[in-house]
Amino acid sequence: MADPPIFVDFATLTPTARPNNWLVAPESAVRASVDAIAPVFEVPPARLAKAWLAVVRAEPRTIIIAVSTDGLKVEASQRSRVFRFVDRISAQVFPMDADRSTIAVYSRSLVGYWDMRVNRLRIERWLNALGARLAARGDGHD
């Protein structure tokens, strides 16, 4: 029997001190210092999670490693275009109430010390794509 997928526990996450990772999260969801505060989306958590999964799947060289049974946690990896380095991206949607939710995203390099802001730029790009996807759908349905 295979081991169950490992999901990042954002409540206990301690990012490395190296400059090759980036954490965006609601401060209430993590004990670590965040690099940026997560946006709040005016959609239910399930819709946000579904839209996030669509954004991740649309990215080149990206593999979905695992999705939790409730769909609110996603583990993915993405290879760099030129050197094929692997970065790991973990995300979790957090309900705020029935019609609002937010997301924590932690992107980090698995190889090397520097990343030339790749992880930061990835999260910013993916969050922008997430917001655009939800806005284009109006009600957040995908």
Q: What is the pLDDT of residue 5?
A: 67
What ranges do the domains of the chain cover?
21-137
Q: What is the pLDDT of residue 138?
A: 58
Q: Could you tell me the end-to-end alpha-carbon distance of the chain, in angstroms, rounded to an integer?
A: 34
- Provide the 8-state DSSP code for 38: P
Percent of the residues in the chain that have a pLDDT greater than 70, as a whole number? 92
- CB within 8 Å of 12: residues ≥ 6 apart: 31
Q: Is the pLDDT of residue 21 over 90?
A: yes
**74 touches 52 (CB < 8 A):** yes
Three-state SS annotation for 74-111: EEEEEECCCCCCEEEEEEEEEEEECCEEEEEEEEEECC
Q: What CATH class does 21-137 carry?
A: alpha beta
pLDDT tens for 108-140 read 998 877 787 899 999 999 999 999 999 997 544
Q: What is the pLDDT of residue 117?
A: 87
Confidence of residue 141 (pLDDT cuts 50, 70, 90): low
**For residue 59, which of 36, 79, 42, 83 has the smallest C-alpha distance?**
79
| Backbone φ, ψ for residue 93 (5° rounding) | -90, 135
Q: What is the pLDDT of residue 4?
A: 60
pLDDT tens for 58-113 read 999 999 999 999 999 999 999 987 667 899 999 999 999 989 999 999 999 988 77
β-strand partners of 86:
79
Other CB atoms within 10 A of residue 139 CB: 9
